[in-house]
Amino acid sequence: MKEHTEPSDVVIAQRLLDQLKVRGFQFQRIAPGEDGPLMGSRVAGGCVDLIHIEGFSRDCFAWRKRSSLLIFAGGGLVERRTDGSALDVLNEVLTWELKS
């Protein structure tokens, strides 16, 4: 079943994606179709950031992990995490500062 999304929300999401691209994220579809899930990633400032957009209003998440040559059990490198709607996740990731 296809989600109903307001056209203005789609425009806002596209602008947020454009801002994230300027900040170094690269995005790709990870399944076929124009509504297929979208994944974005960035490696910068000693961190790896990942965004996953599954449905517009649900099933979206992002996380930031510190880059390290050491292996930690249980996801010990995860610094930030968020989930929710596409707009909530994209807005939150825009607040994540790049580390020097």
Per-residue pLDDT of the chain (100 residues; tens, 9 = 90+): 355 667 888 899 999 999 999 999 999 999 998 888 999 999 988 899 999 999 888 889 999 998 776 655 665 577 899 999 999 999 999 999 876 5
Both tokens assigned to 90:
């994209």
Could you tell me the pTM of the whole model? 0.83
For residue 91, the 8-state DSSP code is H
The 10s digit of each residue's pLDDT in 32-60 is 988 889 999 999 888 999 999 998 888 89
CA-to-CA distance for 100 and 8, rounded, in angstroms?
A: 36
- What residue segments make up the domains of the chain, in order of their start? 7-94
